[in-house]
A and B are shown apart, each in its own frame.
Chain A
Amino acid sequence: MPIWLDDFLWTYQTLIHSLGINGLLALSMYVVLAVGQLSLGQAAFMGLGAYTGALLSLHTGLPFALVLAGSAVVPVLAAAAVGLPTLRLTGVYLAIATIGLGEVLRVIYVNAEITGGALGLGGIPGRSATWIILLLLAGALGGVWLVGRSRFGRAMEAMRGDQTAAAVIGVNVPAYHLGALLASAALAGVAGALSAHSSTFISPDDYAFEAAVTILSFAILGGIGSPLGPVVGALVLTLLPELLRPLHDFRGVFNGLIIVLVVLFLPRGILPWPMTRLRKPL
C-alpha cells in the first residue's frame, strides 16, 4: 500500500467507517421503504446488533464472521416478533410497533448487568477493518441492486404504487413485507456490530429516537428510486456536518428539517431516477 494512501486511511479512518456504516443503515431503511412500508426500528435493530456483536466478541472467541452473523440473527428475531402481526395490516401499524421497540430495548440495556447498564460497554476489540466495512457495503449494495432489477424488484415497485393491484397480479404482499423487514433488520444489525467494533464503545443512548430519525433522513434525502439514492443520502448527511462544523450542534434541527422539506418538496429525493429493468427489445 502506498504511504500516502496509508496516511489518508489512518487520518480519516473514523470518517470512512461511519460513511460505510451509515451507508449500510441507509440500505437497511431502503429495503423496507421499497415495499411501501416504514420501519422506525432501524436504530433499535442496529443497537441489538451492536450489543450482540460486542458481547460475543467480549465473551467468546468466535471469529468475526460468526460474530457478524450472530449480530444479524438477533435483530431478525426481534423484527419477526414485532413485525409478523402487522404484515397484513396497513403500514402505520409497523411504524408504530417499531417505534416502541427502541425504547424497550433501552430500558433493558440500562437495567441489565451484562450490557453494562447506563454507562454502556467499553473495551470492545476494534475488529472492524476498513476493508471489511467497505466490502460489506459493496456486497449489500450489489445484492440489493440485483434483486431490485429482477422480478422481485418489479413486484416491490408495484406494491409501492398500489398494494391491492399488486396482490391481484399475484404478488404475495405479506411475504414481501416480511422478507423486506427481516432483511432490513439483518443489515441494520450487521451495521450495528460493525460500528461497535469500530468505536469500541457503545451505550444505550446511541440507538434512541434521534438515531432512528437520522437513518430515515438518509433514505428520504437520497430518494428510493434506486438503492443508490439512500447510500448517497447517507454520504451527504455524514459528510456535511464534518465539513460545516456548526451543523454539528444543530444535527437534530437539520435532520428534522431535511425530512420535512424533502417529503414536502422533493418527494423522490435527490436521486429520483428509477431503476431501468426492461428495455424495449428491438
Chain B
Amino acid sequence: MFAQQLANGLVLGATYALFALGFTLMVGVLRVINLTYGFYFTLGALVALAGCRDLGLSLWLALPLGMLAAGLAAVIIDTALLTPLRRARAPELASLMVTLGAVLLLYSVLSMGLGTEIRRFPLGTLPAGAVMLGEVRLGAAQILIVVTTLVMVLGLWVLLSRTRLGLALRAVAENPDAASLMAISVPRMVMATSLLSGVLAGAAGVLIGLNQNAIQPYMGETMMLRGFAVIIIGGLGDVRGAVAAGLVLGVAEVMAAGYIDSMVKDGVAFTLMVLVLWLKPAGLLGRARVTRA
C-alpha cells in the first residue's frame, strides 16, 4: 500500500518535474515569469491529439509534432510580446503582466474555437499492459512519463553543462550584457531558450495528457498552479531544484490525499509554496538568486 502510494507520488512528481523543466529554464535564462507557458503545454497536447485522432498518426509521430508546434508558438509569442519589452529594458513586472494578458487571450480564443469539453486519445495509442515491480503496479503511460522525465532531465543537464550552446545559455542567464560583450548573440540565445522551453512544455503536455487522458484547453492553466509552486519550492531558475521540488510535491500530494483527505490534495502545492517562502526563500537547495530590497 505505502509502496504503491510512494510510486504513484513519484510518478505524479515526475509529471510536475517534467512540466516545470521548461518553465524553470525560461525563468533562469530569460529572467521572466512567462505565464503563457501553460498554453504551450495545452497546445502540445491538442496538436498531438489531432495528429493521433484526425490524421491517424502513431504516437511516435504525433509527439514530435506536438513538441514542435509548442516550441514554435513559444518563439513567436516571446518575439512578439517580450522582445520589445526587453529592448525597452522594461521592469520585470511589465513582462509578467503582458504574458498574463496574453494567456487570458489565448485560452479564451482556444476555448471559443474548440469548446471546453474533454477530449481523449483514441484507445490503443499506448499499449494497455502494466508492469508489476513487487507489489507496485505501473501502467504504460506512467512508465513512459518516468522514462521521458529522466531522459529530458539528463538531456538538459548535458546540454547546459557539456555543450557550447549550454555555456552560452548559462552566460546569458548570468549576465546578458556581459554575455553580449563575449560575442554571444543574446537574441539568438533568447530564441533558443524559448524554443527549448516550448518543446519541453509540448512534450509534457502530450505525455501528461496521455496519462490523465483528459485534454481540454484549460489543462495548462491547472498545471501552471503546480508549476508556480515547483519553481518557488525549487528556487527560481534552479533546474535541479525544480526536479527535486516536483518529486517532493508529487509525493506530498499523493500522501496527503491518501492519509488525510482527497480534498486537501489541491491545497498541498500552495501550502508548501508559502512554507518555503517563509522558511527558505532561496528554494529547497538554497541556490536561487534571491534579490533583497
Q: Which residues of A contact B (CB under 8 A)?
A: 36-38, 40, 81-82, 84-93, 95-97, 99-101, 103-104, 107-108, 111, 163-164, 167, 173-174, 177, 209-210, 213, 216-217, 220, 250-253, 255-260, 263-264, 267
Contact = CB atoms under 8 A, between A and B. Distances in A.
Most buried by B among A81, A167, A173, A253: A253
Given A38-B96, A40-B100, A95-B96, A103 B266 contact: yes
Contact of B94 (A37, A177, A213, A267): A267
A256 B96 CA distance: 13
Contacts of A164: 293
Chain A binding surface SS class: helix
A210 B291 contact: no
Nearest to A83: B277
A99 B108 contact: no
A86 B282 CA distance: 11
A100 B108 contact: no
Contacts of A103: 225, 266, 270
Nearest to A104: B270
B104 A255 contact: yes
Chain B binding surface SS class: helix
A213 B104 CA distance: 8
B101 A85 contact: no
A36 to B, nearest CB: 7
Interface residues of B, number: 45
A167 B107 CA distance: 40
B93 to A, nearest CB: 5
Interface string B214-233: 00000001000100110110
Contacts of B104: 209-210, 213, 252-253, 255-256, 259
B260 interface: no
B102 interface: yes
B188 interface: no
Interface string B86-111: 00001111101110111111111100
Given A96-B232, A173-B293, A260-B105, A38 B97 contact: yes
Most buried by B among A88, A100, A220, A251: A100
A264 B232 CA distance: 27
Given A97-B277, A253-B112, A107 B266 contact: yes
Contact of A260 (B81, B93, B290): B81
Interface string B188-229: 000000000000000000000000000000000100010011
Contacts of A217: 101
Given A38-B97, A85-B277, A85-B278, A92 B108 contact: no
A267 B85 CA distance: 10
A220 B267 contact: no
Contact of A104 (B266, B281, B290): B266
Contacts of A37: 93
Contact of A89 (B33, B263, B290): B290
26 contacts: A38-B96, A84-B278, A90-B290, A90-B293, A92-B96, A97-B232, A97-B274, A100-B228, A100-B270, A103-B225, A103-B266, A104-B266, A104-B271, A108-B267, A173-B293, A210-B104, A250-B112, A253-B108, A253-B109, A256-B101, A256-B106, A259-B100, A259-B102, A259-B104, A260-B105, A264-B81
Interface in B250-293: 263, 266-267, 269-271, 273-274, 277-278, 281, 290-293
Given A252-B108, A260-B81, A104 B97 contact: no
A260 B98 contact: yes
Nearest to B33: A92
Contacts of A108: 267
A104 B263 CA distance: 11
B221 A209 contact: yes
B92 A259 contact: no
